[in-house]
């Protein structure tokens, strides 16, 4: 018996009703509409704090130097009262891992809120769009300006927009480069046109990067270039809070009079005003469901809530909600995926805090001379070593240098050393074998450097002593 493929009837497309494409589907420029709302205010507050942190921190001084400075020439990273060295690079790796797990945790909890509220790409894009509104007008005016032929009026408005975009980009680049070279001197050198070629290159590079990313690429960075948008969907579950359209409440959508009994007409709460589409920075229609392009900024929620308020309907037609909630269930907050990420994040933060507190403020590297060994004037076998000692504190320190359990070994060279704050000293020393050991060959010894003011602060490093086989 032949098995038949089941078929079902589908609703035919009404030729009298045009197909509406979203700005993202149309492929043209996305012109967003001005709006207000609680999520916009939250985003402005977050952006203001990030701006204050980013632009303000570079200008803070601490102990006669810039408070936060990555001094690549000296290979030192200053964060207020602490100085970090290449030997502390593992701490930077730990910070990146913590940031990654923090991002995973917030994604499982509330989707792409990082993208919508705190990601630099999104924050600067919102700033550039605000500049666009100030210079070219709101959405309708910008659409008309795009379609209009070139004229003096259009040139002036476009020139003002791009001029302000470049100004914001230059200030951003100066602030960023100012974390790698003292910002006060950088600003002075730039004002007097005495900036070095390398520094000028990086200032121009980050100016161009900011201008292109936030002014021209915009949503394309979030949609096509950012890897986070590609893997974030696999981290969602049925309880993840995402920007959602309540189709059960909103459909069937359509216009109506404010005082009409729209329920009797078979209509839902959605009046199909497309305000949610007009405010979306990535140009999607949230009513089509969760999409890769959605950055979770909540702009469509603010726009829809304002329309609901005018009509006297309840808010929340578009809201942060989980798939389980939209299906009529209740969002589960304590679930294995979320709890697991939270536990790992707390564990790593605790381990990082411990490592930071126990970080040694004294470093010792020992390098043995390339030569095998030599015989000194007393007929003793002698090896030459170079001790690299780093004072990682912000105070001058005096150190004692010795061998741990020297036995038949004798250290020749300075026994004390005075280092200025953050100073690095390469100290040549020699070690002599004072007794003859038959068949000794290579042997192990250990150098130790101790802070004279704090004897508990010490560091020891092993090395090898080469001697002939008797």
Domain shared by 268 and 383, yes or no: no
What is the residue-wise DSSP string for 122-171?
Answer: HHHHHHHHHHHHHHH-SHHHHHHHHHSPP-HHHHHHHHHHHHHHHHHHHH
- Alpha-carbon distance of 292 to 280, in angstroms, equals 13
pLDDT of 7-28, one tens digit each? Answer: 444 444 455 555 667 887 777 8
Residue 80 lies in a domain: no
How many C-beta atoms surround the C-beta of residue 227 within 10 A? Answer: 7
Look at residues 320, 324, 338 and name the one whose alpha carbon lies nearest to residue 238.
324
Domain interval for residue 376: 362-465
Q: Is the dihedral of CA 394, 399, 401, 404 positive or negative?
A: negative
What pLDDT does residue 393 have? Answer: 87
Helix, strand, or coil (residue 388): strand
Low-confidence ranges of the chain (pLDDT < 70): 1-20, 436-440, 470
- Alpha-carbon distance of 328 to 322, in angstroms, equals 10
- Alpha-carbon distance of 393 to 420, in angstroms, equals 9
Domain shared by 184 and 278, yes or no: yes
What pLDDT does residue 50 have? Answer: 92
Domain shared by 270 and 394, yes or no: no
Residue 458 lies in a domain: yes
- Domain closes at, from 328, 354, 381: 328
- Domain closes at, from 285, 309, 328: 328
pTM of the model: 0.84
What pLDDT does residue 14 have? Answer: 53
User: Total domain count for the chain?
Assistant: 2
Domain shared by 145 and 283, yes or no: yes
What pLDDT does residue 183 have? Answer: 96
Buried b (16+ CB within 10 A) or exposed e, 129-158: bebbbebbbebeebeebeeeeeeeeeeebe
Residue 419 lies in a domain: yes
Residue 191 lies in a domain: yes
Domain shared by 287 and 377, yes or no: no
Q: What is the CATH number of the domain that holds 421?
A: 2.60.40.10
152-177 helix and 38-57 helix, angle to the nearest 10 degrees: 50
Domain shared by 368 and 323, yes or no: no
Domain shared by 135 and 41, yes or no: yes
Domain shared by 187 and 289, yes or no: yes
Residue 343 lies in a domain: no
Domain shared by 185 and 42, yes or no: yes
Domain shared by 123 and 253, yes or no: yes
- Domain closes at, from 279, 307, 328: 328
Residue 340 lies in a domain: no
Residue 265 lies in a domain: yes
Please count the CA atoms within 13 angstroms of the CA of 452 that sit on its side-chain side. 12
Residue 215 lies in a domain: yes
Domain shared by 245 and 170, yes or no: yes
pLDDT of 87-121, one tens digit each? Answer: 888 888 899 999 999 999 999 999 999 999 999 99
């Amino acid at each position: 018996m032949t098995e038949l493929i089941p078929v079902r009837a589908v609703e035919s497309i009404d030729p009298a009703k045009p197909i509406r494409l979203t700005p993202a589907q149309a492929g043209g420029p996305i012109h967003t509409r001005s709006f207000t709302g609680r999520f916009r205010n939250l985003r402005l507050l977050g952006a203001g704090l990030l701006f204050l942190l980013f632009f303000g921190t570079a200008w803070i001084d601490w102990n006669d130097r810039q408070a936060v400075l990555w001094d690549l020439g000296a290979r030192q990273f200053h964060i207020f009262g602490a100085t970090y060295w290449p030997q502390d690079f593992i701490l930077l790796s730990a910070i990146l891992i913590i940031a990654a797990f923090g991002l995973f945790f917030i994604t499982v909890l509330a989707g792409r809120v990082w993208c919508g509220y705190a990601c630099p790409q999104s924050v600067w894009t919102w700033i550039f769009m605000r500049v666009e509104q100030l210079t070219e007008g709101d959405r309708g005016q910008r659409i008309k300006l795009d379609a209009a032929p070139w004229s003096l009026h259009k040139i002036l408005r476009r020139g003002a927009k791009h001029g302000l975009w470049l100004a914001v980009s230059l200030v951003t680049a100066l602030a960023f480069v100012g974390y790698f070279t003292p910002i006060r001197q950088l600003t002075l050198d730039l004002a007097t046109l005495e900036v070095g070629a390398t520094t000028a290159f990086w200032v121009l590079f980050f100016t161009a990067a900011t201008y292109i990313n936030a002014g021209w690429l915009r949503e394309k960075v979030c949609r096509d270039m950012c890897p986070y948008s590609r893997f974030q969907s696999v981290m969602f579950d049925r309880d993840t809070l995402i920007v959602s359209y309540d189709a059960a409440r909103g459909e069937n959508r359509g216009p109506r009079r404010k005082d009409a009994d729209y329920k009797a007409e078979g209509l839902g709460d959605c009046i199909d005003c497309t305000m949610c589409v007009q405010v979306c920075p990535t140009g999607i229609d949230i009513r089509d469901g969760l999409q890769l392009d959605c950055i979770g900024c909540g702009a469509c929620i603010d726009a829809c809530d304002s329309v609901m308020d005018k009509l006297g309907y309840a808010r929340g037609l578009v809201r942060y909600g989980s798939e389980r909630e939209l299906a009529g269930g209740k969002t589960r907050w304590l679930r294995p995926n979320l709890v697991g990420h939270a536990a790992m994040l707390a564990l790593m933060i605790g381990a990082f805090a411990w490592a930071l507190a126990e970080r040694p403020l004294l470093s010792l590297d020992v390098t043995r001379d390339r030569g095998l060994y030599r015989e000194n004037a007393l007929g003793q076998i002698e090896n030459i070593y170079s001790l690299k000692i780093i004072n990682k504190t912000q105070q001058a320190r005096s150190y004692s240098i010795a061998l741990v359990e020297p036995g038949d070994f004798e250290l020749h060279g300075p026994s004390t050393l005075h280092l200025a704050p953050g100073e690095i000293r390469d100290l040549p020393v020699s070690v002599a074998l004072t007794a003859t050991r038959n068949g000794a060959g290579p042997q192990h010894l250990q150098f130790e450097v101790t802070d004279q003011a704090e004897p508990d602060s010490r560091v020891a490093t092993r090395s090898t002593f080469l001697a002939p086989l008797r």
